[in-house]
Structure 1
Amino acid sequence: YVIPDSSPVIDTIAPEKGTIDGETFITVKGEDFRKGIKLLIDGNEAEVVKIEDDKGNIVGDIIDDDIAVISGTIITAITPPGTLGKKDVIVENEDTGTYLKRDGFEYVLTQTELTIESIDPDEGTVFGGTPITIIGEGFVEDAKVFIGGVETKETEVIDEYTIKARTGPNTPGVKNVTVQNPDGSTATLENSFEYKEPITNPKIAFLDPDKGPIYGEIEVAIIGENFEPWPRVFVGQEEAEVISVTSGQIRIILPENTAGSKDVIVINPDTGLAHLEEGFLYLEYPRILEIEPDEGPLAGETRVVITGEYFSEGAKVIFGENEAENVQVHSPTIISAITPEGDETGFVDVKVINRDGGEGILANGYYYIAPRTVPLPPEGFSAYGYDSITIELTWEPSEHADYYEIFASKTGRSDSYKFLERTDRTRFFVTDLEPRTRYYFKVRAVNELGSSDFSKSDYASTDRRRPGDSQYDDKLEGIVVAHEGDSQIFTIYNTSDLKYSSELHIEEDFRRLTRKEIVITYDAIYDLSRDLVIKTSGLNLTIPRTDLKRNLGNIRRNEREVSGVRIIIEKADKRLTDQMLRSLPRGTKTFSDLYKINMETQISKEIKEHLIFG
């Protein structure tokens, strides 16, 4: 008779049932499990995969200071085949220390088959609470999930391919993930989740706002402390898109969710987890999807139909700052209203506000059109010397203009201007002029109601880009930088003065000189070894070499010195911004300045606009 030194104890077995065919991964938790331990189910020996202690160390391993791990608290094992019914489970150490747990495991007949493909995230804090998503196949309602023998919390079977849950607390180390359907069938993804001891201790104080629409899409700030770069954020079980992070604030795009209060969880990269219980309230806020028509006269009185979701009886409709009249809520998805008079021409946000205060906004959802009148004089009129025989004219569009009339003079006297040309565009090239000559121009807008007053006049000279010209601010061996009016002009003759032989860095921002022209000569284009990059304070633009060379492949040798590509970048003012937004879907938001970009190829006197930006 041997008196054992060990006293093993079984506390729990998870899962506590499995198929009669065996091969079910189980986790046995208890005390004093020694190396070489046997695990018997109904007298049949199970395969012991590993034995761990409370810190995730493997029994039998040598750890710090040459100390061996003698005893463990967790056994991972694979069941042997068995017969139907509940069976006793016995553990027996090599020194005969034994423990019996009556009816500790049940063998069942299973009918379903399931598999696990992945778990995300695949790591989390030992304190539990990490939201996880399990992807696989064959999941059934009321399925259970075990990670290292610990059942997950708030487990929800989304469909037969997806389960969402939160981890329970566990010891450090890599664990198996097991899903068990109600009939006892299981699938295990071995060594697929790691419990870690975090260093950081993030905390959430509050959210601003702390309520919002069930369809998400709004920006929310999470205020707290100890946030690290690249955290993951969950609202309920749905992961949010993180758009910025500081140690005290995280800004997210709210994910879609169901109505009600949801926990908010922030997870630092080291698995440090912050949890704010019921930190955000999802409400059925109204949502505007479309307005028809989406534009009308400034005087208002236009009947519009608004389609969307979650409209309630008694809702208000606001255009800009003005409330609409005759609002009728026909259903939760349709509202009709009469537009109010607008404050000014241009875009306005459209709001639907339910009685409970829930508010839906369609940014730039409606455009107020000014009454059709004689056009106003074109603004922003400028003349630029283009080459030895050409001057370029540009101006901003005039509302209600059908076309424009250009007048020219050699002296600039008011009585000396003569009609030159008619165009329906806001950019015009006057060519076949005399070299090294100054010309004066002005333009007016015309429609069926009459002509506007003339724009301010402007002048330019042909041949303005000759290197000896006094207009030039700076001259490098390969790049000439000049300015004229509100334009800054860069002429690239040699790529050796470009950064990395391909990047033009423009230090001057767009506040003083709102227009940048980049002229690349034929030789410089064919000298590029990579794509051209133009970097400004607010814009990074990459233009493939193949696009620069387009239209230049078949020109004659004697034309190369007067050929090249011109890129014009203009920062959009309010009027041009409105014009650009009108070509985009309603509800489009601008998060930065807008720029108008044109690119053209000049071959001798012929100018072709590039469709890449045209």
Structure 2
Amino acid sequence: MPISPNQGSTGGGTLVTITGTNLANTSAVTFGNKPATNITQVSPTEVTAVSPSGTGSVGVTVTTPGGTSNPVPFFYVGAPFKSSLGTTSGPLAGGNTITVNGTGLSTATSVSFGGVTATPTVNSDSSVSVVVPAGAAAGPVPVSVTTAGGTNNGLSYTYVEAPTVTALSPTSGPASGGTAVTVTGTNLDTTDSVTFGGTPAPFAVINASTLSAVTPPGTAGAVDVVVTNPAGSDTVTAGYTYVAGPGI
């Protein structure tokens, strides 16, 4: 007498299908010593029922006018607990793979990002990997994980759009570096790096359209300026010119 699924939440509420023989006129289904609810006679070989709350492994039995069946094991699974996301932000288009860390994740069947679900790959009871679906708009969305034990919420993932740079001011300075450069554009509030000629520069985000960077030392000549965030990067080709100091 197989049952499907053979595991469910400790809080109960799992719809279980029981198949076998001589199941007509089923009067009771029990999980351990607890009666199931919403028993439905589908056919003489199939019955459905909703599991009560419980813990561990219990035997499921069906009672008909002919007697009570042999028990078939059903396993109660605790609700998942999520502790962190391996990556907390990414492109609005999705497509990047992130990890969800926690406990009770071995039976994970879906991960929801703001209501859009994706099917995860289970790495272990403490980790799943999932390809992030596309978002509807830039900004944070709640993340939930559903397992045989239930659904757990509480984490947040932020969709971001790639930056664009429209202007630099000033556009030149000494090769010794140390020049404060104002960068204007869009989607700059999620910037995680600014480089001048491939060399990282210290920076401070002012708002979504403005940031300030301090040029690192460089070699005389024009260099590319690249602004990067989790969704991508924008390059201003030969956007800044290092000027050699005077010599006597």
TM-score category by the smaller chain? 0.3 to 0.5
- Relative contact order: is structure 1 or structure 2 higher (C-alpha 8 Å, sep ≥ 6)? 2
- Structure with the larger strand share: 2
The structure with the larger Rg is: 1
- TM-score calculated relative to the size of structure 1: 0.21
- TM-score calculated relative to the size of structure 2: 0.42
